[in-house]
Structure 1
Amino acid sequence: MIIYTGNPFDELRRQAAGRRVAVVTDSNVAPLLSATGYDTIVISAGEENKTLATVGEVWNRMVDLRLRRGDVVACIGGGVVTDLGGFCAATFKRGLSCINVPTTILGAVDAAVGGKTGFDFRGLKNEIGAFSMPEAVIVSDIFYATLPRRERLSGYGEMLKHALLDSPAAFARFTEMTPDEVRLDDIRRSVALKERIVAADPREGGLRRILNLGHTVGHALEELLLEKGTPESHGACVARGIVAELANSRINAGLDSTVLYAAATLVRNLYGPMPATCGDYPRLLELMARDKKNRRADLLTLVELSAPGHATVADCPLADATAMLDLAADLLS
């Protein structure tokens, strides 16, 4: 259940009525929650803290707070909080109820919706996790007006994916909207596409796999940049990954070049060039090969578009992946 409201904390109280609430949040959001009166578990902000060690810290606090199965865990924060906090709720005492309150656009359109929870492990994005649907997701634009531009851009990258998966009209409309113009109705439309897909395939056995557009390359790029000490946001990496996977779609699925060039121009103007060089390809390809969606070590499972709104999942030989990376790098230069 996704609830859109101007008063997220009042709505949280309504949804959790009669039950104890423990909040999982991060060090950026925690100062905003002091008046809620809930027990609060605070993790350090940032993707670099989405680790097994942090999971252990949250579990320890849950033990200290003596949480029980009838209690509710409210994950209030961005994607790291809803992913990791949701996993901790799903596994503590074999499962506590969870309510997500995303405080970023990225969290609202992606991480907080759909029941994917988890954390990074041994340098691999979301390597450990579980499907566990939240009891509710409370979306409110009171959080988004003051987001730093970096965070708005991160959410915009995921919204680009949804527009491409939706229809030619949705993609055309999206390209006319800047990150600073994103409003609650735009978020609602983006979430609605993901809701429809998740409802049809909640455990990613078929249709839901198209939501990975841009993520095989994007996750590998995100991991590479963390290793290099030059991290970029999830959405910024996914946006570049989308261009790479659209380049693959142009090569293998006949995607019209105007769609590829329109997306590449948008991404280049907002996010800049591909932050990986030819010298990074061996490590980037190694990370892509270890993506959990792949069925074989020598094949990449990629989303291919023949046109906006027409997506399929196909296997691409790892040996051929350099071509799409080269084309994407040229388009983004």
Structure 2
Amino acid sequence: MEWKGRRQSGNIEDQRGAGPRGGGNPFGRGGGFRLPGGGGMRRAGGGMSFGTLIFLVILYFVLKAMGIDMLQVLEGGGPANMPGFEQSDGSGAPQGTAEEEEMKAFMATVLAETEDTWNGIFQASGEQYEEPRLVLFSGSVRSACGFASSASGPFYCPGDRRVYLDMGFFDELAQKFEASGDFAQAYVLAHEVGHHVQNLIGVLPKFNEMRQRMSEAESNQMSVRVELQADCFAGIWGKYTEQKGLLERGDLEEALNAATQIGDDTLQKRMQGYVVPESFNHGTSEQRMRWFKRGFDSGKMSDCDTFSGGV
């Protein structure tokens, strides 16, 4: 995908480093460097003891010798030289490796392209598109929909109208699910933005209301239709991106392969060796690929009606 040099969206919240990484309880408190409070050696009147003051002075110079300036920490600078802490570019956002920063720029560009696409579609219908925000996180994150770990994969929360993404998911997408390529990654984000569009036009609120009265099997069947429509909406974005001349040779195939690799039947067969169709809640590989291609070929929301007839 030809993306470098294009507009990047400002609707991004970078929360990488705010949650715990790796092992441990992913739903616990966020990581980070915190000074102890509440306890400690204090006089009866609430003042600090002389011994504690001497200890803190010694601790300051020890840390200073290690390259850690506690005055900067207290002023919000952070323990810049301590391993395990991401650096900042001065804007307040964490800064990772060059590869991570390029991925962030790519996601910001794809998000901007979805904004252009859906702003135009909504305006053509006399409506105003409310742009979602993209939250980048690592380890775990808290949303209006509750806590989630990176194991949950990318998701959209209708409660705060944000898309949540741990960019480490793309390594898993390429290595574990054999769906590599930048347009495969773009498809993932465009699919989640598709859920945002569904939220704006009333599909998600209606589904959330209905499934409270549904059995698990009925809810799964309806969920499949919701997910396939988001795939179709992602295809619409792909159509507009192609019309701009941004697609490169093989991009469409990357997206279709990603849709195939994350179909319910393919995932279940890979994970457990057999499939349980009644448990499908995203759609089969064939369905996901077909509905993305339908949106890509048509470019019209009216052709993404997954709720009428079969899917």
TM-score by length of 1: 0.30
Work out which structure has the larger RCO, using CA pairs closer than 8 Å and 6 or more positions apart in sequence. 2
TM-score by length of 2: 0.31
